[in-house]
Structure 1
């Protein structure tokens, strides 16, 4: 039986009979195919199609998908997950900036304590995680996006802040209770503490690491675990994520080569959040990938590296086009995604347009709500700023882009 569904209803193991749009615009060479994995699902989601026809005789039905068992819940999961208090991007940006600055200083202090051989005081981190959590609950895009903007000097510290915020957002999306969300945030904040005692010349080397240097870097999860063992008030969950956030589902990770169910849910979450922030951030040896491109790359790694259920929850939280992504609209306008919209399509965020791909010239910056009733424009694809000679595109979601070009 053929059934037309929205793109948001499409799931793995559904059989696509036809995409609702010109076949020539499809990234697939076949008209009909099975959605075998998360990578295929994300690839479809990155197109401008908004509906598909599925064949329920050959694959999963919508009703059956709704009745499918949920992903394994952690022991701390409960029904009373805290509800976010919404705030606009503009409303939250100032508060988020202050929290980010405070968090950077606190993480720097903890790293210095570890570097000096002193027992790390994690008490201050408890309150810090609460502040980060409150900001993420109000508007996850603000703090998460700000934490992605790092300098070479503070990368390691800001990476910890970013992973903390990402873990909180993901834990909320996966239905953890308040205690579980807090544990996830603490784990994100402390997951890379072992890098405090890792040679900084190796960590910041502007080039490919030698085998010997990579072996040194691979020691940081165990080093961090050992440091946290000596601290007071560190939970088993935080210790576990610190030690195992580089494990892979196929058993090829480190340091303990855990596989599948041997890896805790929190460590699987840590792996997703750690990788996303690492590949979207500028490093001494590489330019960060576009957020949307990063999600597409990560989707390919769900076959053996990342947990596909956790990754799917992560994508639904971040959006197909996360804040900061340069996109091209059907009208030919280029713009930066400035805000995801709770309860609305992942394909219809708010976008601040500022450039015309047709005239190859800047235009007056304008905020467009793609989910507004009657809106005809839509995202066609994400774009590489270098292709269009665009620089400093972050200013369009940071301050409204009202400055002169």
Structure 2
């Protein structure tokens, strides 16, 4: 049974079904859970949320009022000094950073759950049904938690897609890229939530595209391209009739193909006419698209993609693009690099303290032209004299499956 109570009456053990007011003002990435953590209870009471709905069949109910009894004469008691207060409880620490290898397994599980959820959500959109943004919150929350533990793991795995699941997993990947970029830019948590949700929903209009056009393995004709260019507006139409879809998600859906120089679509907006979030969405959308295997093209390598994007003058906000490069790394995971010694290596994980000194796996000698025993090397470790002198295009070496150097369980 559901019961509405003031947020001030919340207690541990209650099953939180929903919160009054805009979900963007809530202190949680999710709803529908048992209040078991004192930190969550404190955050709820400090959030300003006026009221909550609890399910008393799944958790505790409000304590009944104490019975009123006849007044009695108060007994005389000895007055003693109150004991000195003990130390204040320590604040709940943030989730500790996980090592790359440990987080890969958890990130893979998050991706699998996200794939199922987004596939179901988008199939509903394909049938013309309105989107309920609240069902997206657990997806955004899990992705954000994985990014907090180790951003390299989730972002790297999200880049690996098959041609068949690109449409759905592209939205999951852009969600992660948007959250990571928002955090790197120092945006408050509320805006990071909005960014992630907007990334998850930005391409929902593609569900209204004909499948023969959406999945065409070759180049589109002019008429087919015109149809595809309508997906931002078709997505906006789906979202505007949805439940609890914030304005930011609507804006990013409609304008993530606008360009700073005004040559984008659908409205040819330019410069500051494009919102901050839409400019962020434009960068994240393109990066994931060109680094992914799609029905009509093979993936470009991550660092090479950043290099090409940097040359597309007038397409991206330069300040946002610079921040994006720092959020994914100058040499993103999976990049083939040449070391000062002449050896080749694949980047495994970013080093937040030094973007030019990631962890790499060395596997090939350019001097001998032969493979060498694989070695994991932290270029930021004290005493390490090795350094990166530049990226190497994988196609120049005919190397295949470079991702196996950092991903122990590659998808076939």
Deviations 1:319-364 (A, max 9, x none): 1100110111111211110000112x21110001112222222211
Q: Residue 225 in 1 paired to residue 236 in 2?
A: yes
Say what the alpha-carbon RMSD is for the aligned residues: 1.5
Q: Identify the match of residue 363 of structure 2 among 351, 354, 367.
A: 354
Moved more, 143-152 or 371-380: 371-380
Distance in 2 (alpha carbons) for counterparts of 1:111 and 1:221:
15
What's the TM-score once normalised by structure 2's chain length? Answer: 0.75
1:179 aligned partner: 190
**1:204 Cα shift?**
2.0
SS in 1 for 2:217: coil
Q: Identify the match of residue 272 of structure 2 among 261, 265, 280.
A: 261
1:334 aligned partner: 344
1:243 aligned partner: 254
1:65 aligned partner: none
Q: Identify the match of residue 109 of structure 2 among 98, 106, 118.
A: 98
Contact 1:83–1:137 at 8 Å: present in 2 too?
A: no
Q: Identify the match of residue 190 of structure 1 among 201, 212, 222.
A: 201
1:70 aligned partner: none
Distance in 2 (alpha carbons) for counterparts of 1:400 and 1:165:
20
1:286 aligned partner: 297
What's the TM-score once normalised by structure 1's chain length? Answer: 0.76
Distance in 2 (alpha carbons) for counterparts of 1:328 and 1:84:
35
Q: Identify the match of residue 380 of structure 1 among 386, 389, 394.
A: 389
**1:83 Cα shift?**
7.0
SS in 1 for 2:373: strand
Q: Identify the match of residue 170 of structure 2 among 150, 154, 159.
A: 159
1:3-402 alignment, distance < 5 Å: 85-301=96-312, 303-343=313-353, 345-399=354-408
Contact 1:159–1:278 at 8 Å: present in 2 too?
A: yes
Deviations 1:113-154 (A, max 9, x none): 011122223322111101100111111111111111111110
Contact 1:96–1:143 at 8 Å: present in 2 too?
A: yes
**1:287 Cα shift?**
1.5
SS in 2 for 1:394: helix
Aligned length: 318
Distance in 2 (alpha carbons) for counterparts of 1:226 and 1:360:
56
**1:400 Cα shift?**
9.2
Instruction: Give the gaps of 5 or more residues in structure 2.
Output: 1-92
Alpha carbons of structure 1 residues 298 and 85: separation in structure 2 relative to 1, 3 Å? farther
Deviations 1:161-206 (A, max 9, x none): 0000000000001111111101000000000000011112212222
Alpha carbons of structure 1 residues 400 and 151: separation in structure 2 relative to 1, 3 Å? closer
SS in 2 for 1:328: strand
Contact 2:132–2:245 at 8 Å: present in 1 too?
A: no
SS in 2 for 1:327: strand
**1:379 Cα shift?**
0.9
Distance in 2 (alpha carbons) for counterparts of 1:282 and 1:192:
17
Distance in 2 (alpha carbons) for counterparts of 1:142 and 1:398:
9
Distance in 2 (alpha carbons) for counterparts of 1:312 and 1:393:
26
Alpha carbons of structure 1 residues 185 and 376: separation in structure 2 relative to 1, 3 Å? same
Alpha carbons of structure 1 residues 135 and 352: separation in structure 2 relative to 1, 3 Å? same
Alpha carbons of structure 1 residues 85 and 237: separation in structure 2 relative to 1, 3 Å? farther
SS in 2 for 1:380: strand
1:44 aligned partner: none
Distance in 2 (alpha carbons) for counterparts of 1:245 and 1:83:
33
Moved more, 198-207 or 263-272: 198-207
Distance in 2 (alpha carbons) for counterparts of 1:240 and 1:171:
16
SS in 2 for 1:272: helix
Name the larger-Rg structure: 2
